[in-house]
Chains A and B, each alone.
Chain A
Amino acid sequence: MNWKLNDLTTHAGEWLRGGGPMSDVVISSRVRLARNISGYPFLTKCNRHERQTLESKARHAILSSQLSPRLLYVDLEQAGELDRQFLVERHLISRPHKDAEGARGVAIGENETISIMVNEEDHLRLQVLRSGLQLEEAWEQINAIDDKLEAFLDFSFHPRFGYLTACPTNVGTGIRVSVMVHLPALKLTGEIEKVFRAARDLHLAVRGLYGEGTEATGDFYQISNQATLGKSEEEIVTEFRRQVIPKIVEYEHQARKQLLNDRTVALDDTVCRALGILRSARLIKSEETLFLLSHLRLGVNMGRVKDVDINKVNELFLLTRSAHLQKIAGRKMESDARRGRISSGRA
């Protein structure tokens, strides 16, 4: 248990190591379950005392369930703004959870593959995050966590509506399957709209890097299911694993091939410019960094740049975010032009 938030600072979580199937396009696979503890109001109608009781009940259950050999519980009511922003950047808590007030927390385990938000929109939001396309594995892991917590907590359940959630859009399984994909070639060839249309036809949501209401930065998109009722968890996971994601990966591969065949010089120019700026710039905004890293990642994955390690590029997506830079520097930095530089050209 001798694990502190600062220990996470200097490296990326397991999910961003760039491993796992289809990792040239699929960054990560996330499965989350929404659960509420029976006999308590949802958080919309909780008073301060009920909120505290729920937080301590959930914390107790999480810490007693032996979910992971090492588990870190962060009390978010006490945590400072920088630490909370840091957790958002690592996808361990949501933005609303960071900005909320009152008793709430997050438990983090297994090299950050597990996170459990306490008192977010629902009493518990369980999340498993893994690198590449590993949805079945993520579902099995989260299902086991849910079983363990169930030994300590009565979850609200209705025979017709399933697991009850504060928002009826999550009711039923309470599952949200979310795959983060990197689609720079589709963006460069202007065909990204086709993916959005196809996703909409399949009733899927396409969101930006940090979920609901965020812009797609650095050509990263999160594809997730919308319907949580009327299909089993396995059906939803399998549909994503076998049909939805492979199709999107195939589109991106076709676009990459097209760039390589028809626009080789333009492609190399885009990639090399990105690397040039990242190596030489002294002041750079975090959005520009993401944009350039995205092009560099495309170049490395397509073999157009040989001397840059893809794992390092993946890590830099995270380590160049503002809260990470400030944690690494050990001080608050005022400007929005914080440095994000690949050092010494070897990255």
Chain B
Amino acid sequence: MNKCDKCSKQATVHLTEIQNGKTVIRHLCEQCAAQGDGLISKPHGHTPINQLLADFVNLHSGLPTKEGNATCEHCGMTWGDFRKDGLLGCEHDYELFERDLTPLVQRAHENATHHVGKVPRRASGGAGAAAAAAASSGAARKVAELTRLRKDLARAVEAEDYERAAKLRDQIKDAEGPTRADAK
């Protein structure tokens, strides 16, 4: 019967390791194995399969991360909401949760991370993706402002504050600018 290499109690855990091509056999008692070099954390513990799955899902869905607590200022979406039904709340969520979304997006799209293909003419300016990026970042503030105004308008209408609603409607019209075809 082997004794524990560390405390000379009866050894019940026997480890065989290959170190630098040499076989090293170690004998440990339960207590020492439990602490021992972080090799075996719980000799008797064993993780139920549902816990393993939950850990795996959490690990791969990026929780908990700092975005995990973030709430979208435009639509009120949280990462927890998204995980519940798999739908995002507004266009800004893609920026806010970008870090967490990326691995999910990659898995859903055969590892792709970037859009290839059609670009709206308004964004392209006729010069492809680089122009799209520039136009998009330039337009981002306008989009955010419009979202806020429209939210306010919706709130004003719900509250039957028609005076404020009329003002907001005019502000939205101004912000949308005269370039859209439907503003004619």
A229 touches B115 (CB 8 A): yes
B108 touches A38 (CB 8 A): no
B105 touches A233 (CB 8 A): no
- How near does chain A come to B61, taking the closest CB pair, in angstroms? 12
**Does A218 lie at the interface of the complex (its beta carbon under 8 Å from any beta carbon of B)?**
no
- How near does chain A come to B118, taking the closest CB pair, in angstroms? 6
Using a CB–CB cutoff of 8 Å, the interface residues on chain A facing chain B are 36, 38-42, 44-45, 47-50, 53, 57, 60-61, 64, 121, 143, 146-147, 150-164, 166-169, 171-173, 175, 203, 226-235
B108 touches A169 (CB 8 A): yes
B110 touches A227 (CB 8 A): yes
- How near does chain A come to B182, taking the closest CB pair, in angstroms? 5
Query: Which A residues lie within 8 Å of B75 (CB)?
Result: 41-42, 45
Of the A-B pairs whose beta carbons lie under 8 Å apart in the complex, a sample of 11, sorted by A's number, is A39-B143, A41-B89, A42-B91, A45-B77, A47-B154, A150-B122, A154-B180, A163-B120, A229-B112, A230-B109, A230-B114
Query: Which A residues lie within 8 Å of B118 (CB)?
Result: 143, 146, 163, 173, 232-233
B105 touches A229 (CB 8 A): yes
- How near does chain B come to A139, taking the closest CB pair, in angstroms? 10
**Does B133 lie at the interface of the complex (its beta carbon under 8 Å from any beta carbon of A)?**
yes
Seed contacts A60-B182, A169-B86, A232-B117; 8 additional CB < 8 Å A-B pairs: A40-B150, A45-B76, A47-B154, A160-B113, A162-B115, A163-B118, A229-B114, A232-B116
**Does B170 lie at the interface of the complex (its beta carbon under 8 Å from any beta carbon of A)?**
no
A42 to B116, CA, bound (A): 23
B119 touches A168 (CB 8 A): no
Identify the interface centre among B89, B112, B116, B118: most chain A CB within 10 Å of its CB. B118
**CB-CB nearest in chain B for A159:** B133
A230 touches B91 (CB 8 A): no
A60 to B182, CA, bound (A): 8
**Does B15 lie at the interface of the complex (its beta carbon under 8 Å from any beta carbon of A)?**
no
- How near does chain A come to B166, taking the closest CB pair, in angstroms? 14
**CB-CB nearest in chain B for A143:** B118
**Does B31 lie at the interface of the complex (its beta carbon under 8 Å from any beta carbon of A)?**
no
Among B111, B133, B154, point to the contact of A50 (Cβ < 8 A). Answer: B154
B158 touches A49 (CB 8 A): yes
A193 to B85, CA, bound (A): 31
A233 to B119, CA, bound (A): 11
A123 to B109, CA, bound (A): 22
A343 to B150, CA, bound (A): 57
A161 to B129, CA, bound (A): 11
A269 to B153, CA, bound (A): 67
- How near does chain A come to B164, taking the closest CB pair, in angstroms? 14
A143 to B132, CA, bound (A): 18
**CB-CB nearest in chain A for B91:** A156
**Does B146 lie at the interface of the complex (its beta carbon under 8 Å from any beta carbon of A)?**
yes
A161 to B119, CA, bound (A): 11
B136 touches A157 (CB 8 A): yes
- How near does chain B come to A31, taking the closest CB pair, in angstroms? 12
Contact bitstring B78-90, A, C-beta under 8 A = 1, else 0: 0000000111111
Query: Which A residues lie within 8 Å of B89 (CB)?
Result: 41-42, 44-45
- How near does chain B come to A51, taking the closest CB pair, in angstroms? 10
A44 touches B87 (CB 8 A): yes
B109 touches A229 (CB 8 A): yes
